[in-house]
Amino acid sequence: MKLAQLLILPATLLSAVLAIPEYSEHLHLRPLPNGYLYAGFNFTASTSLSAYESQHFRYFPRSLGQILQHSHTKELHLRFALGRWDDESWGSRPRDGKREGGTGVEIWAWLDSGGGKPAVEERWSSLVNSLSGLFCASLNFIDRTKTTRPVLSFEPEGTHRGGGDGMELLHGTLPHEVVCTENLTPFLKLLPCKGKAGISSLLDGHKVFDANWQTMSIDVRPVCHVGEECRLEIQQTVDIVLDIERSMRPRNDPIPRPRPVEELECDESKSYHASDTCYPRRKEGEMAWSLSQIFGTPVRGSCHVADGDESPDVSLEISPDRAVEVLHSGSNETLMSDAQDQRLRVYRLSDSGKYTDISLIQQIIQEAPHQEQPPLYASRQITGFGQERGGMHAVLHNPHTYPQRIVYLESLPWFLRPYMHTLKVLSHPTTSHDQPATPVKPDKMFYTPALDRKRGTHLELLLTIPAQSTVELTYDFDKAILRYTEYPPDANRGFDVAPAIIRVLPLNSNSTAGNGKTQDSYLRTTSLLLPLPTPDFSMPYNVIILTSTVIALGFGSIFNLLVRRFVLAEEVPRSALAVRVAGVMGKVRGWVRSLKGRMRGGGDGGGRAVGGAGEAAGGAGGMNGISGVAESRKER
Amino acid sequence: MDPTSTEDGGGVSAVEGTELPASGNAKATPPTESARTLLTRRTIVFSFWAIVLGLGLPHWLWTTSTYRASLPLSTMNDWAEGKACDLRFAFPIRVRVPGWTREEMVELSGSLSALLDHDGSDGLLDFTIHVGNADEEPILPAHGDPALTVVLHAAGSPDTNGVTSRLEPGESALHLGSGLRQAGEIADQIREITSPQQEALAYLLSGTPFAVTEHGVLRATQNTWSEASLDARNTRAFKPSTTYHLSFSLFVPGNEPSAWAIEDALAAYMTPLLDALAGVSNFTVTTQVQLHASFSPSIAGPTFDEASGKWKLRKEDLSGFVNAAEWPLSPSIGEGSTINFVLYVPAPGHSPLVVADTGGTGWLVPQWGGVAILNLDEPTTPRKSTTDTDRTTLSAANLDEIMLTFADQLTALIGLPSSPAGSLALRIAALQRERATALLLSTASTLGALSRLVHKLPNIPIPDTVATSVGTSLRHLDHACQDLRAGRYSNTDTNLGALGNAQAASEASEKAFFEPSMVGQVYFPDEHKVAVYVPLLGPMGVPLVLAGVKELLGWYRGMREKVKRT
């Protein structure tokens, strides 16, 4: 297992032994329990610092190199992630979680701090804006409210002149960003073989983003070795966990349909098993799969472009008992195989072959799959109800028999206002439930309070999690009310809160001999959805109209009181216009009535009289017209 | 009531009807108002109106108005209409004759000056002749360096002989042989050198308001051939810019070659040229290697021609040869344009690859860059004998021809005039003049467009930064105009020079024109403001207007009665 990690990070550790090839790539495959497959792609290219500074690019991508130079970036880490790593069933995270990001987009970089704070902010903004263009992501929305400056959580991976002085770390997250194919395409364009040859030919947007968990990373850092010129190294990784059955569904019929009854595999031991009742039988053993079935295509050719690159391209971490068949077209050059480790098989793609495919058959393996326990389990939730306040509740569970020191980092948006005096860290031992919870005192705490619309909250805690216990971290917060224009179009969905980042610090080698890891590892909680009070968005117009109406009403009555002349009702002079209108109306009415009378009685005198009366009354004008009619009716 | 009477004249009876109730309630007329109440009411209505008109309306207009900084519109229009500057180009010439006395040379320069001025009346270049001795440096008061130095060599000098003239690539000097001594002959030689420049400047000015000078409307060149070539040069060249990013890319369809000796090749071929052009623009250079570069599906691709044994690329495919969707040719970061140079090495199976009609291997994409195809020789010896490096790396020797092609394309892409062919220094000086003119013209038209825009859209806000930029631009334009007339073309320590000033003016004017905050509120017209406030203005306005009208009518009637009475 240790060797497997060595191979997963060939650039970091193997490079110390061998001269670094300018470009190398590697694919690590590991079946996970319950029919999942982990595939970790790793592409490492490097260039000498002098070539980089004079802008001569070979395998290092020019587009990215220019961005880094323009923004004076010393070290860059960029992550695109989707889904959740199920550490309960899949075990510890690949690459110790170091090449993994929180849901959405995450970026942190060390920038040249020359020129003071405004210059750094200018560079940061130029960096995120250029990367936004390069990767078709909304990275340009990482502004000052989404940027934090963590103290303990990250350390530079590269070797920097002056030991990291004159550099400043900035960290930004975009939990709302949906990672998709448009981010993968520019990612592949940065590779020398551009997804056309070598293992990168397996990367297809349909498969990568169909995965249960997926993370893409880009890490640029300077690497120096004694006696050699410093090099700038770019490491690109894609880690995915695929549901084997789902990704092997036929390409021409991707819609899931019920299987015909004949094809169902039923558990016949169930008492209710009958011809029309079927309880699906549990799959036994390991599933059969092949690269071409899972990724839709076999590996095309190879991408051995650099001199001195002799490392294996593909490694397969499976039980020694499983049979593996390697098919390739073209030449039959044997692939490198069977490293020292029993569980690991490594292959090198042949240079002349056109296609290479690895296929495994279904087998029942007695041996339980080896799984490494993750260093820590972490989860985080929002508690409380209502639109005014809530609480944060993070649970950190240490399953190991030794205590662990961690750094817990939260970068919260400004509209979530935590109350630090309510911060409680309580520890419960998992072995015995009756013991009371004991408070845990953080060893160190860094807290930058939020400023409305200017800065988010940055909270960093250095904690020790006791052995075999669960630590609960809680605090309360207020939900701010945003301005009308600050709401996104889908305001009722809620607002994403970036995942908490947990760095598990390496243990001192002398304190617990060989128990813990010698390198630190990272894990991230899922991102949270924070419902904020959302207004009715027609509100401003309603308010304008309502207040206008109220003002107009008040104004109208006061104005009338001031200006009108008050006289007795009988004294009201009739306006000439009203008199004329009433006259016309009365005439029309009388004419209609006479017409009606004529139709009814054919010259009935009474009818005429009514018409005449009506006319006369109508002539009186105004309201009296109606009363005139009433009077004439009485007469009748 | 008699029904018949109603039948006869309804109208009359209606009138009578009106009289009836009125006569019945004769006493129900309101009491006449005292003059005091009338005055009070009128005062009230008047004060309401006074507040609305004197306070409300200006306040409303003020709060909903957009800020418009004042712009020097008339000066901007003067520039756009070509009135602000009479474009003339000083062209100081120094004459050096080793061995002559000062008097002889003054005489020669006098006659030269008369000859050149004679036909220079409709030309744009103002020739001034200065006399310099063989050894001593000339005194050029108030003028920059001479645009041209004419050296008359003595008979029997090893440099030149007979009636030949010669140009040196590195210096702006015309060396004349001993056979050319007459002022007329010398003037002809000078004219030969300067006429392309005159034509190019006239071409730039033609069609613009600046073409109207005191000497009448300037005509473009009469020569259609040279106009066509100037047209071609103009469409090919990039817009003038202070910085150009040169990006050299090697594209390979497969894995090999994956490296090239570009640094050596650039040092040998590009650096001298770029150093010479430093007075015109700054250049940055980046290089990259891109493997697995495939053709765009939109082109037919090369076809194999049996007869010649070559792969031919159809002419229609040249425009789609560069696969913009897949080849990473993103522009460089920072201000300035990116000039792309693409070297394509076809796969061994598709080699040699040439353009179908011409058989050439390089072409120029106007205002984008240049493309060259490098067909590697078929290995005559088996590959095994060569080392790996030979197979994967293009040596500097491979790149020699390509770099010459690229250098040629670069001169075309930045618009370097092709004549006088002998002297690069003269060509660059000509480019400086043309650049400064082009920038000046484009700045003038930008300012004119801005002025028209401000005039056309009364709602557009104008922030102070725009006014500042316009001011800067105008100041630099004035300087540029003066510098052109005085012959200060290039940048010195104390002065930006015509080109520098024109560039500064152009940048400032672009900044003013493309100010982002000016766009924002174009879409907030008066109709919107009114629509939002109608619920307020309607109910308030109706009583106010009615009361005002009523009182006005009452006042008018009162006045009329008074007049009648008197």
Tell me the mean pLDDT in the region A432-447: 86
**Looking at beta carbons, which residues of chain A come within 8 Å of B1?**
609, 612-613, 616
Tell me how close the Cα of A484 comes to any Cα of chain B, in angstroms.
17
Inter-chain touch B3–A612, beta carbons under 8 Å = yes
Q: Is the pLDDT of residue A459 over 70?
A: yes
Helical ranges in B206-287 per DSSP H: 224-236, 262-265, 271-276
- Model confidence at B2, pLDDT cuts 50, 70, 90, reads very low
pLDDT higher for B168 or A115? A115
pLDDT value, residue B523 = 57
Q: Is the pLDDT of residue B172 over 70?
A: yes
pLDDT above 70 covers a percentage of chain B that reads 82
pLDDT higher for A621 or B494? B494
A307 touches chain B (CB under 8 A): yes
Inter-chain touch A62–B388, beta carbons under 8 Å = no
Chain B residues 36-75 with a CB less than 8 Å from chain A: 37, 41, 44-45, 48
d(CA A453, CA A448): 14
Is the separation of the CB atoms in A204 and A9 below 8 Å? no
Inter-chain touch B1–A613, beta carbons under 8 Å = yes
Helical ranges in A507-575 per DSSP H: 539-563
- Model confidence at B23, pLDDT cuts 50, 70, 90, reads very low
B32 touches chain A (CB under 8 A): no
- Model confidence at A119, pLDDT cuts 50, 70, 90, reads very high
Three-class secondary structure of residue A286 per DSSP: strand
Chain B residues 290-309 with a CB less than 8 Å from chain A: 290-292, 294
- Model confidence at B378, pLDDT cuts 50, 70, 90, reads low
Task: Tell which residue, B288, B332, B374, has the closest CA to residue A189.
Answer: B288
Chain B residues 310-349 with a CB less than 8 Å from chain A: 326, 328, 330, 332-334
d(CA A126, CA A112): 13
pLDDT above 90 covers a percentage of chain A that reads 39
Q: Which of A50, A55, A542 to mutate to test the interface with B (most CBs of B within 10 A)?
A: A55
Q: Which of A22, A53, A62, A626 to mutate to test the interface with B (most CBs of B within 10 A)?
A: A62
Three-class secondary structure of residue B315 per DSSP: helix
Q: Is the pLDDT of residue A439 over 50?
A: yes
Q: Is the pLDDT of residue B533 over 70?
A: yes
Work out the burial of residue A620: count CB atoms within 10 Å of its CB; fewer than 13 is exposed, 13-18 middle, 19 or more buried: buried
d(CA A51, CA A60): 10
pLDDT above 70 covers a percentage of chain A that reads 86
**CA pseudo-torsion sign A11, A16, A17, A21:** positive
Q: Which of B294, B536, B545 to mutate to test the interface with A (most CBs of A within 10 A)?
A: B536
d(CA A400, CA A444): 23
pLDDT higher for A420 or B565? A420
Sequence-separated (6 or more) residues with CB below 8 Å from residue A183: A80, A135, A136, A137, A216
B23 touches chain A (CB under 8 A): no
Inter-chain touch B33–A572, beta carbons under 8 Å = no
Angle, CA of A451, A452 and A453, to the nearest 5°: 110
Three-class secondary structure of residue A138 per DSSP: helix
Q: Is the pLDDT of residue A573 over 90?
A: no
Residue of chain A minimizing CA distance to B34? A565
- Look at A130-139, B117-126, B444-453 and tell me which has the smallest mean pLDDT: B117-126
- Model confidence at B326, pLDDT cuts 50, 70, 90, reads confident
DSSP state of B100: -
pLDDT higher for B141 or B312? B312
Q: Which of A25, A305, A577 to mutate to test the interface with B (most CBs of B within 10 A)?
A: A305
Task: Tell which residue, A361, A207, A211, has the closest CA to residue A297.
Answer: A207
B400 touches chain A (CB under 8 A): no
Task: Tell which residue, A520, A522, A517, A502, has the closest CA to residue A402.
Answer: A517
Query: What does the pLDDT look like over A380-430, one tens digit per residue?
Result: 999 998 888 899 999 999 998 889 999 999 999 999 999 999 999 999 888
Tell me the mean pLDDT in the region A73-78: 94
Tell me how close the Cα of B343 comes to any Cα of chain A, in angstroms.
14
**Looking at beta carbons, which residues of chain A come within 8 Å of B529?**
none
Task: Tell which residue, B346, B330, B242, B321, has the closest CA to residue B286.
Answer: B330
Chain A residues 548-607 with a CB less than 8 Å from chain B: 548-549, 551-553, 555-556, 559-560, 562-563, 565, 567-568, 570-573, 579, 583, 586-587, 590, 605
- pTM confidence score: 0.80
pLDDT value, residue B114 = 81
pLDDT value, residue A6 = 41
Q: What does residue A303 show for φ and ψ, rounded to 5 degrees?
A: -125, 55
Residue B37, both tokens: 């109440």
Report which listed range, A439-453, A566-580, B300-314, is most confident. Answer: A439-453
B484 touches chain A (CB under 8 A): no
- Model confidence at B223, pLDDT cuts 50, 70, 90, reads low
Tell me how close the Cα of B291 comes to any Cα of chain A, in angstroms.
6
Tell me the mean pLDDT in the region B427-453: 90
Tell me the mean pLDDT in the region B256-277: 88
pLDDT value, residue B157 = 58
Query: What does the pLDDT look like over A512-530, one tens digit per residue?
Result: 444 455 678 999 999 999 9
Tell me the mean pLDDT in the region B134-147: 52
**Looking at beta carbons, which residues of chain B come within 8 Å of A624?**
21
Burial state string for B15-27 with b = 16 or more CB within 10 A and e = fewer than 16:
eebbeebeeeeee
The dihedral region occupied by A117, where left means phi > 0, alpha psi between -120 and 50, and beta the remainder, is: alpha
ipTM of the complex as predicted = 0.76
Is the separation of the CB atoms in A322 and A360 below 8 Å? yes
**Looking at beta carbons, which residues of chain B come within 8 Å of A568?**
28, 30
Mean pLDDT of chain A: 82
Is the separation of the CB atoms in A410 and A473 below 8 Å? no
pLDDT value, residue A16 = 42
Tell me how close the Cα of A588 comes to any Cα of chain B, in angstroms.
11
- Quick one: which H or E segment has residue B102? helix B102-119
Inter-chain touch B247–A189, beta carbons under 8 Å = no
**Interface A:B, Cβ pairs < 8 A:** 163
pLDDT value, residue B341 = 94
pLDDT value, residue A415 = 92
Inter-chain touch A616–B48, beta carbons under 8 Å = no
Task: Tell which residue, B219, B180, B164, B227, has the closest CA to residue B200.
Answer: B227
Tell me how close the Cα of B57 comes to any Cα of chain A, in angstroms.
16
pLDDT value, residue B278 = 86
pLDDT value, residue A264 = 80
Pick from B14, B535, B543: CB nearest A560 = B543
Tokens 């922030």: give the residue: B463
Inter-chain touch B44–A563, beta carbons under 8 Å = yes
pLDDT value, residue A1 = 41
Sequence-separated (6 or more) residues with CB below 8 Å from residue B320: B296, B298, B299
Q: Is the pLDDT of residue B404 over 50?
A: yes
- Model confidence at A632, pLDDT cuts 50, 70, 90, reads very low
Q: Which of B286, B343, B391, B557 to mutate to test the interface with A (most CBs of A within 10 A)?
A: B286
Pick from A57, A197, A615: CB nearest B288 = A57
Chain A residues 173-192 with a CB less than 8 Å from chain B: 189, 192
Query: What does the pLDDT look like over A305-318, one tens digit per residue?
Result: 877 777 788 888 88
Tell me the mean pLDDT in the region A616-622: 39
Q: Which of B20, B255, B332 to mutate to test the interface with A (most CBs of A within 10 A)?
A: B255
Tell me the mean pLDDT in the region B399-406: 90
pLDDT higher for A410 or B315? A410
How many CA atoms are closer than 13 Å to the CA of A36, on its beta-carbon side?
Answer: 20
pLDDT value, residue B159 = 56
Q: Is the pLDDT of residue A627 over 50?
A: no
Residue A295, both tokens: 């990724």
- Model confidence at B320, pLDDT cuts 50, 70, 90, reads confident
Residue type, B18: T
- Helix B183-205 to helix B102-119 angle (10° resolution) is 40
- Model confidence at B27, pLDDT cuts 50, 70, 90, reads low
d(CA B118, CA B239): 35
Sequence-separated (6 or more) residues with CB below 8 Å from residue A421: none
Residue B291, both tokens: 């493997």
Chain A residues 32-71 with a CB less than 8 Å from chain B: 54-59, 61-63, 66-67, 70
Angle, CA of B373, B374 and B376, to the nearest 5°: 145
Is the separation of the CB atoms in B108 and B133 below 8 Å? no
Chain B residues 230-249 with a CB less than 8 Å from chain A: 247
A615 touches chain B (CB under 8 A): yes
Please provide the distance, in angstroms rounded to a whole number, between the alpha carbons at the two ends of chain A.
115
Pick from A55, A555, A565: CB nearest B286 = A55
Task: Tell which residue, A338, A317, A318, A330, has the closest CA to residue A357.
Answer: A330
Tell me how close the Cα of A95 comes to any Cα of chain B, in angstroms.
29
Sequence-separated (6 or more) residues with CB below 8 Å from residue A105: A78, A79, A80, A81, A137, A138, A139, A173, A174, A177, A179
Sequence-separated (6 or more) residues with CB below 8 Å from residue B35: none
- Model confidence at B566, pLDDT cuts 50, 70, 90, reads confident
pLDDT value, residue B485 = 83
d(CA A297, CA A295): 5
- Helix A116-135 to helix A62-70 angle (10° resolution) is 160
Query: What does the pLDDT look like over B538-556, one tens digit per residue?
Result: 888 888 898 899 889 988 9
CA B97 to chain centre: 43
Query: What does the pLDDT look like over B442-498, one tens digit per residue?
Result: 999 999 999 998 888 877 888 899 999 999 999 999 999 888 888 777 776 667 788
How many CA atoms are closer than 13 Å to the CA of B202, on its beta-carbon side?
Answer: 21
- Model confidence at B251, pLDDT cuts 50, 70, 90, reads very high
